[in-house]
Amino acid sequence: DQQVKQNSPSLSVQEGRISILNCDYTNSMFDYFLWYKKYPAEGPTFLISISSIKDKNEDGRFTVFLNKSAKHLSLHIVPSQPGDSAVYFCARSVEDGQLTFGSGTQLTVLP
Amino acid sequence: DSGVTQTPKHLITATGQRVTLRCSPRSGDLSVYWYQQSLDQGLQFLIQYYNGEERAKGNILERFSAQQFPDLHSELNLSSLELGDSALYFCASSAFLGPGDTQYFGPGTRLTVL
C-alpha cells in the first residue's frame, strides 16, 4: 500500500515568515512527489515536484525537500504571503502517472 | 486557468439516477484522469485513460464507468446513484504517461445526490 500522509490538518503563519508543510510516505520505489495547492471551489493547482533521486528542488518562493531515509518530504514557502492561504496536498505519482494524495493541510497566512 | 474544462459545474439529482460528467483536456494532452474528492475519503484516483485506452483503475465502483473519445474528451458515467456518491469530481490531464508528468486539473463538478 503506497500511502502519503499529512499529519497536520492546519497551519497558521505570519506574513513574511516561512511556512513548512510536511508529508510522510511509505514503500517508495522510483516515484515522483508533487505538491498541489487548492482554493475553495477550484481544482488543485500544481506547485512543484521532486524526483525520488533528488534531495531538493526549488522554484521561486517554493522549495521541496526529500529525506529518503526518513521517508519524509516538506514544502517550504518563503516568504509567506496572504495569497498563499489555501489547502496544500502532497501527492505521489507512480506507474502510469496516477496520483495518490495526502489528506491536505490548510495553510492560513496572517497579515 | 488550467486549460481543462469540466461540465456541468454543479449537478443535483436523486438516488437511483444516472449522470454523465464531461471533461475536455488541455490541447494536446493525451492522458485524462478522474478523481473524486469526498469529505471522508479525501482526493482519490478513480480511472485513467491514455489516447482512448483505459490505462489504470483506482477506487472506482462498478456502478461507475468512463471512456475517452477520439477527440480526447472524456466522460464519467455514474449510475444507480447513492447518497454517498455526493462529492466533487475532478478531471485532470497530462501530456504523456508516467510519473513526473504534471497533471493539470479542471475546476470540478460538484455532484449532490438527494
Q: What is the pLDDT of residues A3-37, one digit of tens each?
A: 899 999 999 999 999 999 999 998 766 679 999 99
The pLDDT of residue A30: 65
Asked if residue A56 lies in contact with residue A63, where contact means CB atoms within 8 angstroms, the answer is yes
Task: Compute the distance between CA of residue A66 and CA of residue A64 in angstroms, rounded to an integer.
Answer: 7
| Cβ contacts of B92 on chain A, cutoff 8 Å | 43, 99
Half-sphere exposure of A86 (CA within 13 A, CB side): 20
Task: Compute the distance between CA of residue A7 and CA of residue A43 in angstroms, rounded to an integer.
Answer: 22
The pLDDT of residue B97: 78
β-strands B104-105, B87-94: how paired?
antiparallel
B94 contacts chain A (CB < 8 A): yes
Residues A42-60 as b or e (16 or more Cβ within 10 Å = b): ebbebbbbbebeeeeeeee
> How many CB atoms within 10 Å of residue A6?
19
B101 contacts chain A (CB < 8 A): yes
The pLDDT of residue A97: 83
Q: What is the pLDDT of residues B14-43, one digit of tens each?
A: 999 999 999 999 999 999 999 999 977 789
Helices (H) and strands (E) in chain A, counts: 0, 11
What is the count of residue pairs from A and B with beta carbons less than 8 Å apart?
A: 74
* Range in B10-14, B26-30, B62-66, B95-99 with the lowest mean pLDDT: B95-99
Q: What is the pLDDT of residues A60-105, one digit of tens each?
A: 999 999 999 999 999 999 999 999 999 999 999 877 788 999 999 9
* Range in A55-64, B41-50, B65-74 with the lowest mean pLDDT: B41-50
B52 contacts chain A (CB < 8 A): no
- A42, A51, A102: residue with CB nearest B100: A51
Confidence of residue A2 (pLDDT cuts 50, 70, 90): low
Please indicate whether, in this complex, the C-beta atoms of B99 and A94 are within 8 angstroms of each other: yes
| Cβ contacts of A101 on chain B, cutoff 8 Å | 42-44
Q: What is the pLDDT of residues B68-86, one digit of tens each?
A: 999 999 999 999 999 999 9
**What one-character DSSP code corresponds to residue A83?**
G
For residue A79, how far is the Cα from the chain centroid? 16
Q: Give which of A1, A88, A96, A103 to mutate to test B binding, by max B Cβ within 10 Å.
A: A96
Burial class (CB in 10 A: 0-12, 13-18, 19+), B79: middle
Q: What percent of chain B has pLDDT over 90?
A: 86
